[in-house]
Chain A
Amino acid sequence: MEYLKSIVPLLLPELLLVVAAGFLFLLGISTKVGARRAAPWISLLVLGGCCWLILGEPMKLSGFDAKGTFEVTSFSLYIKLLACGVGILLTLLAWPTNDDATGNPSLNFGGDAGEFFALMLLSLAGVLMVSGANDMILLFLGIELASIPTYIMVSVSRPTAVAQEAGLKYFFLGALAAALMLFGFSYLYGTTGTTSLHDIGQLLAGTQAGPAGATVPTAWQVLALIMLLLGFAFKLAAAPLHFYAGDVYQGAATPVTAFLSFVPKVTGIVAIIKIMWVYGGNGFAVPEIFAKLLFAIAVITMFAGNLLGLMQLNVKRVMAYSSVAHSGYLLVGLTALAYAGGNGSVQNAALQGVLFYIAAYGIMNVGVFAVLQMIPAREGRSTTTAETYEDLAGQGRKHIGLGLAMAVGCFSLIGLPLTVGFFGKLYLIVPAWNLASVEPELKGKMAWLIGLTMLNAAISAGYYLKIVGTMFLRPEPPLFGDSVSSLPVPARSLAPTVAVVLATVLTLGLGTLIPATQLLTTRVTDSLEIGRQPPLVAPDTASVAESR
């Protein structure tokens, strides 16, 4: 009972989401259309409530629960706020706008609106849990809670074979990734005898014999690390487990694709940061092998994403590989973090860069998908929203607002100035240069890292520019015979429009209004106290915390 008392206030947002999801499942079996219509409103309300809880007074208290498995730190609060904030945008994308509440033109969940939004909330609850997990079991459960609903969401998102294939593929590969992760966790447990991430960190901290205070993990622990990184790479859609991205992203309905490109990525990045914290002995002084692995994964991921992206004809596949590439950029930030080792200020800057970039990516990416969702498909395909370049051709001239929103999103993803993407890249690169100026022997490595990142930014401009160019510079192609009598008009419903406007305004606002950017960076800065608060109750960890 005491334990429950200690954990309930910490778990409030997660509990709220899970309870709401349960309620929505019940609501989903109601036969009344009106009840189903309430589902998106309820999830919006709940996500708003979570944001309020996270920002507001109740969650000001932070720390561990009594057993030290769950922590509330400003780091986790930042991730939670981000997940709920972008979750609101994603809910708007998935808003049912058909008369019978069976989905919107791009997304078909039949009569299952309640269930669909329940799955969304459950997945977000998983992200929240991952952000607070201080135990490998909880971390794994959180990751799976975030993932499993997405498998279902992909399959139910539209009644086409390609979606079923995507769902199945995603599920099987996801299971493989889960197995890899568990494999890694089991070795980590086997070598340390505990599941608490904090305790493992302490044990590893005892081995700080490497250069610059780096820990020296055993060979088994390195094997565990490789397995874990592979598992997380799947969530991130990073190399070498990025192959599913194209098929799955194409198969899922556009709002679900937007969801897939953000939510699993956040869990992956947060999990990697947590594992770095552990392997660094409750710090970021990770062994060099970790840094080297991240370096390699980052570079391969960027090149894979961008080069594959250049070859695609389907815009959703392009965005899938763009998502892969952006995982690469995030990993570049983490590589700088890994090399920063014990250097406090650089390490904070690097972490800040990564956290800022996730937020930036979430915002600009939602904007692009929202536009894709609102533009109708041309041919009489089973899909109703734009997927190919053909679908987009000339649409920027026809629907100038949508076109401009797409241009803003794409230019931001390229990283052009005056958009949030520019500052995102800036914050990823500056820490690496900081590191180079502090530690001259790393100069060459950082120069390579940054040079390759920049090269990739240039490559990526190729396909983003093609999207913008197709929308604005190409004339609308003529209609084919009798496949469609007339072009459908864009879904002029309110919810996706709001999402487009919000995402565009945020993308431009955070890129131009310096105080706004500052607000976000400050928020990120405050979040850097990862795992540094003394625990609330647990006395055994308290003594450890003091000794740090």
Chain B
Amino acid sequence: MQDKYSLLLLLLVPLLGAAVGAFMPSRGAARGWALAVSVITLMLGVGLAWQMNLFAGIDSSLSSIEATRQTVQLQYGADAANNKFAIDKIGFSFHLGLDTVSLWLVLLTVFLQPLVVLSSWDVIKDRATEYYAWMSLLLAAMLGVFIARDLLLFYVFFELTLVPMFFIIGIWGGPERRFAAGKFFLYTFTGGVFTLAAVLYLGTAAQSFDVVRVIAYAQANLSSTERFWVFMALLAGFAVKVPLFPVHTWLPLAHTEAPTAGSVILAGVLLKLGTYGLLRVAFPIGLLSTSEGVISGGLIGLLGALCVVGVIYGALVAWVQKDIKKLVAYSSVSHLGFCVLGLVSLTDIGLQGSVLYMINHGLSTGAMFLVIGMIYDRYHTRDINALSGLGKNMPIMSFFFIFFVMSSIGLPGTNGFVSEYLTIQSAFISPYLGVPFGVLAATGVVLGAIYMLHMSAKIIFGPLKVPAHEEGHGATHGNAAVGADSHAHGHAAKNDLNAREIGILVPLAIAVIWLGVRPTPILQSMTAPLALSREPLSQHRSADAATSLGAPLPAEQRDRKSDERLVLNTPARVGLPEQR
């Protein structure tokens, strides 16, 4: 028996956590509460993974079947009986569901959240209650995107992430925070409104907002002109969020100005909303068709070219940055190019590698931002030229720094290698891309190594050089968030990482190694759901597809499926405690 409410809880816990957290009396209570909320959410996420049997021997046939699903159908519009109102035909539903792809992204989100809260522990001093409330709300919105199975609901959560992030960047960010927050919001919102237009078009045409039904309808019935424009409109929102090459300009600013926690969440999870939307909605609708198979190879080529340009351009721009955070931000542009390249290859390994890339990028770039934040807390600068030889007085920090740099470069043995390899290989073997894309993308790897090592060589090695103590520096850059307190400690605080900071980085390091040496379970678990993004939902496949994405099935099929699942589940479930 499925636990009916755990998905709803996954949404409600952070939501209520935010509501209650907004009224916490003190900073200590607020951060404690936020940590509790994030840990409970993490436990819920792990519980869901357990229900989906992920930790008890992965079977690819199994992983795609078990989707926790509950539908609270709330039809819009008045009495359908006398059919006064056309909107009643499309109704949107509060439909949550989970398959392995979304599960991994949910796990990434809930895994990062406690670390992010911990990283803000001492740094956020001003208006801490508000800060932690926004963080919890952001968590709810991000999780909502990954578990929504209704297109309109998906869009609601997608847009909802903007509001908390706007405030997090705008209140607790760096000196340019107001401009950065506004730019972030306006860019993403402008793309998003066109996505809304497309979502509504699809919903009206398909007379349902259920993701599977919409995709099935679009693949079977839309003309190629319609498909093209719908795809463009969907792309407008998702490509900005990813961000793809020509619309990436909001990202370096937002990443640089956001507080550490904001950067981590932004790079770790928010960018993945874009790739997730591309994977789940835009590509199946825009590139696949029941009658023609994969359509518009030219469009795929164009997207692939944008990705490759993004990979190389991002890397080259990163190379010349003086600000470490900005460097990592541009490296995100480069990395997300790989990620989308894997998606547009429309091959199995490309899609798997791409989803793995989403997770890996979240871990390693998130970790990079955390370490940079720790440096910044001590020296109040992120200038490559102002820092040097940190390995001498901060050996532990330097260890983690180099470790995550290696992961980001994609050193074999770390997580980055697997996904980078898979996405590049997929570009080579893809029928729509081919060798030039693969070769160019591979140069991105080399460039990635160059800029990352260049930066680490400068700040970790060499003679020790730290900025001179500047009185009142905390006040001049106008950021109350990093506040007077950490500054008052001055040089005394410029020792190595403390236990809390090590505690934040160790789980990330473990995850990096684990995904580096044993990625197969993840890749295998996603095979079945990802196949849907590779080929159109045809008639004979639609039943399986429907199950994996959580659409309702005819009764007899549902029985068959649940029997099957029962049989497969039994060995693993023996001896497990009763599910809540």
Contacts and interface: CB of A to CB of B under 8 A. Distances in A.
Contact of A473 (B156, B160, B163, B181): B181
A430 B78 contact: no
Nearest to A475: B478
A521 B181 contact: no
A380 interface: no
B566 interface: no
A516 to B, nearest CB: 12
B404 interface: no
Interface string B143-155: 0000000000001
B178 interface: yes
A473 B134 CA distance: 14
The residue in A397, A414, A417, A518 that gathers the most chain B C-beta atoms within 10 A of its C-beta is: A417
Interface centre among A352, A427, A472, A473 (most CB of B within 10 A): A473
B76 A521 contact: yes
B254 to A, nearest CB: 14
Interface stretch (B193-201, B347-355, B366-374): B193-201
Given A465-B185, A526-B78, A416 B84 contact: no
A417 B193 CA distance: 11
Nearest to A459: B190
Nearest to A447: B229
Given A430-B90, A454-B193, A473-B177, A416 B160 contact: yes
B94 to A, nearest CB: 8
Nearest to B178: A473
Contacts of A437: 204-205
Contacts of B94: 514
B160 A417 contact: yes
Contacts of B175: none
B435 to A, nearest CB: 38
Contact of A462 (B170, B186, B203): B186
Interface string B38-78: 00000000000000000000000000000000000010111
A451 interface: yes
Range of interface residues on chain B?
35 or more
A346 B189 contact: no
B186 to A, nearest CB: 6
Contact of A461 (B86, B87, B127, B185): B185
B221 to A, nearest CB: 10
Contact of A427 (B87, B185, B186, B196): B87
B84 A433 contact: no
A154 interface: no
B313 interface: no
Contact of B200 (A397, A433, A528): A433
A165 B148 CA distance: 54
A305 interface: no
B185 A458 contact: no
A411 interface: yes
A436 B196 CA distance: 16
Interface in A428-445: 429-431, 433-434, 436-437, 443
Interface in A366-417: 397, 411, 414-417
Interface string A300-326: 000000000000000000000000000
A443 B197 CA distance: 13
Contact of B178 (A417, A451, A474): A474
A531 B216 CA distance: 42
B474 interface: no
Interface in B76-110: 76-79, 83-87, 90, 94
A413 B160 CA distance: 15
A39 interface: no
A450 interface: yes
B77 A525 contact: yes
A461 B189 contact: yes
Given A437-B205, A458-B189, A521-B78, A430 B156 contact: no
B182 interface: yes
Band of interface residues on A: 35 or more
B159 interface: yes
Contacts of A474: 178
Nearest to A343: B86
A345 interface: yes
A465 B85 CA distance: 34
A474 B78 CA distance: 45
State the main secondary structure of chain B at its contact with A: helix
Contacts of B508: none
Contacts of B87: 349, 352, 427, 430-431, 434, 521
Contacts of A179: none
A458 B189 CA distance: 6
Contacts of A465: 166, 182, 185-186
Contacts of B329: none
Contacts of B79: 522, 525
Contact of A433 (B127, B171, B204): B204
B186 A525 contact: no
A346 B186 contact: no
Contact of B83 (A345, A352, A416, A433): A345
B238 to A, nearest CB: 15
A342 interface: no
A411 B166 CA distance: 12
A176 interface: no
Nearest to A414: B189
A254 interface: no
B417 interface: no
B427 interface: no
B167 interface: yes
A429 B155 CA distance: 15
Contacts of B74: 514, 518
B170 A469 contact: yes
Contacts of B157: 417
B163 A411 contact: yes
A450 B178 contact: no
A451 B78 CA distance: 28
B363 interface: no
A510 interface: no
B165 interface: no
B422 interface: no
Interface string B207-231: 0000000000000000000100100
Interface string A453-477: 0110110011001100100111000
Contacts of A426: 200
Nearest to B152: A426
A427 B76 CA distance: 11
B162 interface: yes
Contacts of A416: 159-160, 162-163
12 contacts: A429-B200, A434-B87, A436-B204, A443-B226, A454-B197, A458-B189, A458-B193, A461-B186, A462-B186, A472-B170, A522-B78, A525-B77
Given A345-B85, A473-B171, A525-B78, 19 more contacts: A352-B87, A397-B127, A415-B193, A416-B160, A418-B160, A422-B156, A433-B201, A433-B204, A436-B204, A451-B194, A454-B193, A461-B186, A465-B166, A472-B167, A474-B178, A517-B76, A521-B77, A521-B85, A525-B85
Interface of A: 345-346, 348-349, 352, 397, 411, 414-418, 422, 425-427, 429-431, 433-434, 436-437, 443, 447, 450-451, 454-455, 457-458, 461-462, 465-466, 469, 472-474, 514, 517-518, 521-522, 525-526, 528
Q: Which 5 A-B pairs have the closest CB atoms?
A: A417-B156, A525-B78, A458-B190, A433-B204, A349-B86
